[in-house]
Chain A
């Protein structure tokens, strides 16, 4: 019997005016937004691949140990089409022994010239003033409104028309009617949703760059499932309110108010209100104190002679020296040994300050998120963002792993500081040693062939790269889908319990509903 009700509801819904409009709007939106976002992903992925290539080449090209740095490139998520997620998340993390990456780092400025690198795809950061939309928005805002419109009159409307009495005069139980209506509406709403998801699969097919791995498919299925669960929440709420109101137009009004509250007021209002309490940034003074302490400590270390070197290049902490007097090597090694540990100490100190601030930010975020969880839409968005892997937690986990990797890199580099290879390769190329004999030779060469001839001797190009094959590589494992899911268990739990609560309440109310 419940099957009959489901069939009837389904047919009534499908042939209704509201279903038609909703279907068209959703299909068009999903198609356009999906295409634009998939194209965007493909481009970001290409950039990622070329970055990885570039950074891998870099690994083969270190001339001295002090300038060794590695880069972790975070691949874009193909599921970002569903949710763009956190804005401005860096795509590469640079790892050196001199600095520890942090989530709260100032992510650097977006420059208008050179901001898009050398890419041949137009890049206009000003377009960000238009609110970017993604599929979570289409489903969360538009389809949820559509869900409300499907069910707002399911009881009150039938009561007004008198058909409810008729239906209940048969042998069907009230709960069965309720469930029938619920399932019928759920199937109806699943139609545009399914078409939308098929559209995305189709768009993915158009782009040969995208290989549909099992991770992507599982992610898509999960997002589909949770979208359906989220919409079921709105359907349950709609049925509930329809049972509580005598007139369908009043029911509609309450539902719309509830929708405005859930979809707009709570996410925007509470999100913005929380800004009031945003932890004041306190890192600046602390960091400059650390820097001051560091430079004072460095001053105490006996300074090596700078007069006895040639062609020195200073990188943020590292040093490359082409030619050096043999007597100057030993003191310089000692100097680097002393300062390297100071530099590591500074990195640790700075990290502590950043972590401290990050913790405060985390506390703030947790409170805000707890408040925001009063909205079904926010919970849905949290879930989709996490499954898409575009959430800030995924980035935080990645940063934690990068930090662990950095420790192994430092372990690898630490013993190297005791050798001259830390800053020069002159010992393997004695023709660049600034000895008396060599200098005499250079003077002769200069007199004979001009100053230019010296550049042929003093060049990094002649020096083969270091053999760093035993160096630990940044083989970071990015959080997989199961791991990402575990961070949103609470959202999933609340989402399900809300829906169950709505349905139970609706069942209870249906049992006592006055049909005339």
Chain B
């Protein structure tokens, strides 16, 4: 009986025009997302300038005397899975300026002409959270209220069939239809991606896409339950549609978009004025005393630079903290929770940004230590590293090969790391599912199945 209902409902969904429309829309949008992304990705990777420090000569060797006054910029590149959930990528800082002894700036460098093109990044997470969650409502809003109005509900329940099974069957049928749409769209666009060929995915990436698909289904299941709740709760399909839509618009549009406003109101961060005062305070904390020796002066300058870097990192941390406050508050909506989960599972967005910052810092420290180490070996040098000053007898004049240290590595998180970062959000999605399931179940087992008079 259970299977009969599922089959009937599933066929009902699939044969319907609304399913066809959703199916087509999802496939088209996901493919557009992939096609445009791969074209832009190719361009970005081509224009990307590898980080070559000015003190590295053509043989790949390092001229040590140039090291203390070297500045450089390390760009952040998008991951190959940005098409899954890369919306935040566009807004996050994309470059870091470093000297060997400190990280001195983190900034966002717009591409030329960006003022003219202001379109949003269309990623899969957006398509799932807006289009498919909407589809979940379209498929379910009539499923109980419609049958009740037509009187077929009493008929179905006259069978030896517990109400919970009926509800589960309706849920499964809707989920099956959504899975069909989602999987076909994902497979179709992945094939397109392979055909275009400019983005090559590795095994780990496929694993991440699989996880993304699972999270998407977990998310869609919440909206199927929501649709069922609305359908069970109301007298007529029309009222249930209206109820669903208001819930949907609040969960999918209102709450996620209010995050920035709420975070700006609640989260506390230093004002630019306070930050610049703190920066000035560093110089007083590490004063340059008259009569200092050259090596003491170098020491003080290094300490100042170190303190400046710590201040910058702390400040960025506090900014991220404020973003997280906003995110935590918007997590009351499954749509937000889903998009954050999708972001961390595919290794994009804030998790990627934090990793990048740490990688830049580690890279800088490594290269700095390597330079200092190479200098130690040079007996002709006085081993005094004076920031921002090149030449002189204080530092080695040799040319050495630093080896692998000079390559900046910024790998995307592995699927295990991403999964670890996502556990909290997945748990939240499961919790949402349970709450909505219980609600739907509780209301349905207690409802009056007779058609409402006048409905």
Q: Give me the interface of A with B, judged by CB distance under 8 Å.
A: 17-18, 21-22, 25, 29, 32-33, 36, 86-89, 103-107, 109-133, 137, 141-142, 145, 149, 153, 157, 248-249, 252-253, 256-257, 260-261, 264-265, 268-269, 271-276, 278-281, 283, 357, 361-362, 364-365, 392, 395
> Chain B 272-314 against A: per-residue CB contact (8 Å), 1 yes, 0 no?
1111100100000000000000000000000000000001100
Residues of A within 8 A of B271 (CB): 116, 119-123
Given A114-B272, A275-B119, A269 and B112 contact (CB-CB distance below 8 Å)? no
Once the chains are docked, how many angstroms separate the CA of A252 from the CA of B322?
A: 41
**Nearest neighbor of B33 in chain A, beta-carbon distance:** A272
Q: Which of A29, A122, A279, A395 counts the most chain B CB atoms within 10 A? A: A122
Task: Report the interface size class on chain B.
Answer: 35 or more
Q: Is B107 an interface residue (CB 8 A)?
A: yes
A283/B112 in contact, CB under 8 A = yes
B273/A392 in contact, CB under 8 A = no
Q: Is B126 an interface residue (CB 8 A)?
A: yes
Q: Is B117 an interface residue (CB 8 A)?
A: yes
Q: Give me the interface of B with A, judged by CB distance under 8 Å.
A: 17-18, 21, 25, 28-29, 32-33, 35-36, 39-40, 43, 87-88, 91-93, 95, 105-122, 126, 130-131, 134, 138, 142, 146, 237-239, 241-242, 245-246, 249-250, 253-254, 256-261, 263-265, 267-276, 279, 311-312, 315-316, 319-320, 322-323, 326, 330, 349-350
A265/B254 in contact, CB under 8 A = no
- With both chains docked as a complex, state the minimum distance between the C-beta of B141 and any C-beta of chain A, in angstroms: 8
CB < 8 Å: which of B18, B120, B256 contacts A257?
B18
- With both chains docked as a complex, state the minimum distance between the C-beta of B227 and any C-beta of chain A, in angstroms: 13
B107/A112 in contact, CB under 8 A = yes
CB < 8 Å: which of B122, B239, B269 contacts A17?
B239
Once the chains are docked, how many angstroms separate the CA of A142 from the CA of B257?
A: 13
Once the chains are docked, how many angstroms separate the CA of A129 from the CA of B32?
A: 22
Residues of B within 8 A of A123 (CB): 271-272
Residues of B within 8 A of A29 (CB): 254
A272/B116 in contact, CB under 8 A = no
Once the chains are docked, how many angstroms separate the CA of A365 from the CA of B118?
A: 10
Residues of B within 8 A of A249 (CB): 142, 146, 237-238, 241
B88/A129 in contact, CB under 8 A = yes
B115/A113 in contact, CB under 8 A = no
A280/B107 in contact, CB under 8 A = no
B257/A131 in contact, CB under 8 A = yes
A269/B275 in contact, CB under 8 A = no
Once the chains are docked, how many angstroms separate the CA of A261 from the CA of B18?
A: 13
9 nearest CB pairs, A to B: A130-B260, A271-B119, A116-B272, A272-B122, A109-B107, A129-B88, A130-B259, A128-B91, A110-B108
CB < 8 Å: which of A17, A118, A275, A364 contacts B276?
A118
Given A109-B95, A128-B91, A272-B119, A281 and B113 contact (CB-CB distance below 8 Å)? yes
Would you list 18 pairs from A and B whose C-beta atoms are within 8 A, ordered by A residue?
A103-B116, A105-B112, A112-B312, A113-B275, A119-B271, A122-B271, A123-B272, A124-B263, A124-B264, A126-B91, A128-B91, A129-B92, A130-B256, A157-B238, A252-B238, A265-B29, A269-B32, A274-B117
A112/B319 in contact, CB under 8 A = yes
CB < 8 Å: which of B17, B88, B138 contacts A256?
B138
B131/A112 in contact, CB under 8 A = no
Once the chains are docked, how many angstroms separate the CA of A110 from the CA of B106?
A: 9
B319/A142 in contact, CB under 8 A = no
Residues of B within 8 A of A107 (CB): 110, 114-115
Residues of A within 8 A of B142 (CB): 249
B118/A276 in contact, CB under 8 A = no
Q: Which of B118, B267, B315 counts the most chain A CB atoms within 10 A? A: B118
Residues of A within 8 A of B239 (CB): 17
Residues of A within 8 A of B267 (CB): 124
Once the chains are docked, how many angstroms separate the CA of A272 from the CA of B31?
A: 11
Given A116-B271, A253-B18, A257-B18, A141 and B253 contact (CB-CB distance below 8 Å)? yes
Once the chains are docked, how many angstroms separate the CA of A272 from the CA of B117?
A: 9
Given A107-B115, A269-B32, 4 further pairs, Cβ under 8 A: A112-B105, A113-B315, A133-B257, A257-B18
- With both chains docked as a complex, state the minimum distance between the C-beta of A475 and any C-beta of chain B, in angstroms: 25
Chain B contact residues: helix, strand, loop or mixed: helix
Once the chains are docked, how many angstroms separate the CA of A259 from the CA of B14?
A: 22
Once the chains are docked, how many angstroms separate the CA of A248 from the CA of B267?
A: 46
Residues of A within 8 A of B32 (CB): 269, 272-273
**Nearest neighbor of A257 in chain B, beta-carbon distance:** B21
Residues of B within 8 A of A112 (CB): 93, 105-107, 312, 315-316, 319
Q: Which of A21, A249, A276 counts the most chain B CB atoms within 10 A? A: A249
Residues of A within 8 A of B126 (CB): 268
- With both chains docked as a complex, state the minimum distance between the C-beta of A328 and any C-beta of chain B, in angstroms: 30
A127/B249 in contact, CB under 8 A = no
Chain A contact residues: helix, strand, loop or mixed: helix
- With both chains docked as a complex, state the minimum distance between the C-beta of A291 and any C-beta of chain B, in angstroms: 16
Residues of A within 8 A of B245 (CB): 145, 149, 256
A127/B33 in contact, CB under 8 A = no
B108/A272 in contact, CB under 8 A = no
B319/A281 in contact, CB under 8 A = no
B323/A129 in contact, CB under 8 A = yes
**Nearest neighbor of B16 in chain A, beta-carbon distance:** A253
Residues of B within 8 A of A33 (CB): 261
CB < 8 Å: which of A111, A122, A253 contacts B105?
A111
**Nearest neighbor of B326 in chain A, beta-carbon distance:** A130
- With both chains docked as a complex, state the minimum distance between the C-beta of A512 and any C-beta of chain B, in angstroms: 23
Q: Which of A131, A137, A276 counts the most chain B CB atoms within 10 A? A: A131
- With both chains docked as a complex, state the minimum distance between the C-beta of A33 and any C-beta of chain B, in angstroms: 7
Once the chains are docked, how many angstroms separate the CA of A11 from the CA of B244?
A: 24
- With both chains docked as a complex, state the minimum distance between the C-beta of A300 and any C-beta of chain B, in angstroms: 29
Residues of A within 8 A of B138 (CB): 253, 256
- With both chains docked as a complex, state the minimum distance between the C-beta of B431 and any C-beta of chain A, in angstroms: 23
B36/A119 in contact, CB under 8 A = no
Residues of A within 8 A of B253 (CB): 141-142
A274/B119 in contact, CB under 8 A = yes
**Nearest neighbor of A354 in chain B, beta-carbon distance:** B112
B112/A268 in contact, CB under 8 A = no
**Nearest neighbor of B315 in chain A, beta-carbon distance:** A113
- With both chains docked as a complex, state the minimum distance between the C-beta of B75 and any C-beta of chain A, in angstroms: 12
- With both chains docked as a complex, state the minimum distance between the C-beta of B322 and any C-beta of chain A, in angstroms: 5
- With both chains docked as a complex, state the minimum distance between the C-beta of A242 and any C-beta of chain B, in angstroms: 12
Once the chains are docked, how many angstroms separate the CA of A364 from the CA of B114?
A: 13
A88/B114 in contact, CB under 8 A = yes
B241/A88 in contact, CB under 8 A = no
CB < 8 Å: which of A114, A124, A260, A364 contacts B25?
A260
Once the chains are docked, how many angstroms separate the CA of A141 from the CA of B257?
A: 12
Given A17-B242, A120-B273, A127 and B120 contact (CB-CB distance below 8 Å)? no
- With both chains docked as a complex, state the minimum distance between the C-beta of B4 and any C-beta of chain A, in angstroms: 24
Residues of B within 8 A of A116 (CB): 271-272
A104/B116 in contact, CB under 8 A = yes
Q: Which of A261, A361, A362 counts the most chain B CB atoms within 10 A? A: A361
Given A111-B107, A113-B279, A116-B272, A88 and B115 contact (CB-CB distance below 8 Å)? yes
Once the chains are docked, how many angstroms separate the CA of A86 from the CA of B113?
A: 12
**Nearest neighbor of B350 in chain A, beta-carbon distance:** A129
A276/B35 in contact, CB under 8 A = yes
